[in-house]
Amino acid sequence: MNRRDWLIQSASWMTAASGSTGAWAQAFQGRTLRFLVGYPVGGVADFITRTTTDGLGPGLGAQVMVENKPGAAGNIAMDALLKSTPESGTLGMFGNLQVTMNPHVAPLALKGADPLRDLVPVIGLADMILMLAVTAPTGIKTLEQCLSRAREQGPNFRIGIAGIGAPHHLAVLLLQKNAELNMTLVPYKGGPPMMADAAGGHLDAVITTLPVGGPMVAAGKLTWIATVPATPIPSLPGLPSLSQVLKGETVPTGNGVFAPPGTSTAAAQELHLALRRQLENPTIIAKLRANGLEPLQGSRQEFADKLRAESVYMKDFLAKVKVDFSS
């Protein structure tokens, strides 16, 4: 091989290794990337998507928009992405559970589709820190008081959850099982409508996140009682955790970006790199952490491996914990 041929081949290797292909870059020049979110504006999924995609467009030469398609526990947006093509510019920001649990609980509803098999994982964005809060009319101030009241009132103790099959839902089921409670679960189509009922005193407690529940806490309508995982929140030092009550059992709370079936490896990698640069931005990192979200930095392969491991975990979880998806 002469020097000229060697330089040409070396350049092609460098281009492939970087994951940056001219075809992919040109594909997004002047186009619109549409990020589907399966929950309403103002919820944590919406917050993560808008925070991490803010400023994404210029680096790809594209316009970026977020489209909320709430309903069916996020599955309306999921169905739309499964039916999309790589050329459409459509992407999805989903909770990992939508991809790893749905094939186990609703194989017929998916009509042969399998999100874990068919969608192309792009990047893990952030893990949520779920939190337990009580409403002001209860007068509850501590985790111990909350558990005691829930035991005393049984089904009369109403706890709100933002979506059937969401991490919030599964966290309450673990709490019911391990603390031997019999609370009434009240599902909502996302955090904002749940917060409205909580503010009106129609609920005793909620499982939520900092960006969704924070304004209600500031307004005196809610009181934080505990985090669900054993993850400290710098802005709330000393807040206890439910980890001991849950006896070490956990709920996957990751969120990430997925591309339509048929998306090329080169395209997915280029988008991964662009979003990873976003997650390395100190301003975005600070904004996520201030709202109880932990930004992720793994590779595409690590994200895909995590999803497969969570699918196995959820199959075992569903065999041990009875989950009613009919509400």
pLDDT of residue 24: 44
Residue 10 pLDDT exceeds 70:
no
Q: What is the pLDDT of residues 238-267, one digit of tens each?
A: 899 998 899 888 889 999 999 999 999 999
Q: How far is CA 292 from the centre of its chain?
A: 12
pLDDT at 15: 37
Residue 249: predicted pLDDT: 87
CATH topology of domain 3-127+253-320: D-Maltodextrin-Binding Protein; domain 2 (3.40.190)
Distances (CA, A) of 3 to 6, 7, 15: 5, 6, 18
- Prediction pTM value: 0.81
Q: Would you state the pLDDT for residue 106?
A: 63
121 three-state secondary structure: strand
- The answer to whether 3-127+253-320 and 131-227 have equal CATH topology is yes
Q: What is the pLDDT of residues 42-86, one digit of tens each?
A: 888 999 999 999 999 998 899 999 999 988 778 889 999 999 999
Type and span of the H or E element at 12 = helix 3-18
Q: Which CATH code fits 131-227?
A: 3.40.190.10
Confidence at residue 122, expressed as pLDDT on a 0 to 100 scale: 97
Domain boundaries, the chain: 3-127+253-320, 131-227
Q: What does the pLDDT look like over 162-205, one tens digit per residue? A: 878 888 999 999 999 999 999 999 998 888 899 999 999 999 99
Q: In the predicted model, is pLDDT for residue 277 greater than 60?
A: yes
Cα 196 to Cα 83, 174, 181, 202: the distances in Å are 34, 25, 25, 9
